[in-house]
Amino acid sequence: MLKKIIHKELSIYFRNLNSIFLPLIFFFLIISIFPLVLGPEKTLFDKIIPGIIWITAILTTLLTSNNFFKDDFNNGIIETYLTSDASIELLFFLKIISCWIFTCLPIIIFIPLVSVLFNIPYENSIVLLITLIIGTPILISVGIFGSALTLGLSKNNILIPVIIVPFYIPVLIFSASAIESVAIGLSYEIQIYILLAFLCLVLPIMPYLLKYTLRLSINN
């Protein structure tokens, strides 16, 4: 049963290539607009480009996770998941990982190219890459949880950002702090360890939270 479900999830992503290219196009569109807005202020742009990349990553995860369970809910697949003999926690974990692979990983792969295009220093680029690798799975997990929490509500598109953005703030703060620290020559290991602690806390418990939340959403 679990193998069939995994095959179905992967086939959905590969059939709908928009799920891969749309976040990537959105990402490049946003970071391309800022140089036009700031004009000749290159010094200012060089300072804020890592923050722009992180804000764009947050907006991309919001765009992706907004209606994550909508089709499964409308088709009755959620009930099938919850009543199946398969390990539903493992299934939800794999759904989180697959969403990250097809949404955030393409963006992360292009970060070296973005660093070259916008002249981000090598060490700054490495720290930016590390924070994105650690932080984006947290964003995806929390975003999917927000989608499950508002499942079935008529205005969930409005509620999801209101619910989950406050949980994004610590990730953004420590990521920005790490990037700022390396830019001024200070140690950034503590911020990375804190982000890793967040990841180790969120990723294992999220499948169980999703299982409980989806049952509540369906029963209500």
Name the pLDDT band for 215 (thresholds 50, 70, 90).
confident
Greater model confidence, 210 or 14: 210
Residue 16 has phi, psi (to 5 degrees) of -105, 80
CA distance 31 to 91: 34
Q: How far is CA 210 from CA 117, 143, 173, in A?
A: 39, 11, 26
- In this predicted model, what pLDDT tens digit does every residue of 169-201 receive, in sequence order? 999 999 999 998 998 888 999 999 999 999 999
Q: Can you give the pLDDT at residue 174?
A: 94
Write out the two tokens for 65: 């996770």
* Average pLDDT along the chain: 80
Q: What percent of the chain has pLDDT over 90?
A: 21
Q: 6 with 97: CB under 8 angstroms?
A: no
Q: Can you give the pLDDT at residue 22?
A: 76
pTM assigned to the model:
0.85
- In this predicted model, what pLDDT tens digit does every residue of 128-175 receive, in sequence order? 999 999 999 999 999 888 888 877 665 556 777 778 888 899 999 999
Task: Average the pLDDT over 72-88 and give the result.
Answer: 71
pLDDT score of 202 more than 90: yes
Q: Can you give the pLDDT at residue 45?
A: 65
CA distance 64 to 112: 23
Q: Where are the domains of the chain?
A: 2-219
Greater model confidence, 43 or 30: 30
Q: 66 with 160: CB under 8 angstroms?
A: yes
